[in-house]
C-alpha cells in the first residue's frame, strides 16, 4: 500500500522568508497529491493540490512541485507571514483512502 513520509516535523522561519516542506510516497501509481493546512482546533483545509500530469502548480505565495521519477513532492511558501503558522499535511491516495504524512508544524516568527 501507499506510504507517505513528510519532513521536517517542525520548521521555524522568519517572517518574509520561504518555507519548504517535502514528502515522499511509495506507490508509483498515485496520481493526486494534496496539501492541507490545519490551524489549532480546526479541521484541515485544502490549500493546493497537484495531479501527476504536471510538475508544478502555483497559487499566489504557495506552490507545489512534483517529481514523479523520485516520487516526491514539495510545498513551497514564499514571503511567509505569521498567519501561515499552522500544521501542514501532505497526502496521497491509497486506494479508496487518503494516506497522510505525519505533519509539519510551521512557526513564522514576526
Partner 1 sequence: GAVVSQHPSWVICKSGTSVKIECRSLDFQATTMFWYRQFPKQSLMLMATSNEGSKATYEQGVEKDKFLINHASLTLSTLTVTSAHPEDSSFYICSARSLAGDLNTGELFFGEGSRLTVL
* Beta carbons of 5 and 101 less than 8 angstroms apart: yes
Strands (E), 8-68: 10-14, 19-25, 32-38, 45-51, 56-59, 62-67
Looking at the Cβ atoms of 13 and 49, the one nearer to partner 1 is 49
Strand 10-14 relative to strand 104-109: parallel, antiparallel, unpaired?
A: parallel
User: Please, what is the minimum distance in Å from the beta carbon of residue 71 to partner 1?
Assistant: 16
Q: Which three cell numbers stand for residue 43?
A: 479541521
Q: Is 37 in the site for partner 1 (CB under 8 A)?
A: no
Q: Which stretch binds partner 1 (CB under 8 A): 15-23, 57-65, 70-78, 99-107?
A: 99-107
Contact footprint for partner 1 (CB under 8 A): 31-32, 34, 36, 41-46, 49, 51, 89, 91-93, 96-98, 100-103, 105
Amino acid at each position: 500500500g501507499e506510504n507517505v513520509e513528510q519532513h521536517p516535523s517542525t520548521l521555524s522561519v522568519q517572517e518574509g522568508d520561504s518555507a519548504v516542506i517535502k514528502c515522499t510516497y511509495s506507490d508509483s501509481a498515485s496520481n493526486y497529491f494534496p496539501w492541507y493546512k490545519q490551524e489549532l482546533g480546526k479541521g484541515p483545509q485544502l490549500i493546493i493540490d497537484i495531479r501527476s500530469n504536471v510538475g508544478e502548480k502555483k497559487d499566489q505565495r504557495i506552490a507545489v512541485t512534483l517529481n514523479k521519477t523520485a516520487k516526491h513532492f514539495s510545498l513551497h511558501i514564499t514571503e511567509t507571514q505569521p498567519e501561515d503558522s499552522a500544521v501542514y499535511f501532505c497526502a496521497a491516495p491509497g486506494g479508496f483512502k487518503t494516506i497522510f504524512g505525519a505533519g509539519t508544524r510551521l512557526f513564522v516568527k514576526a
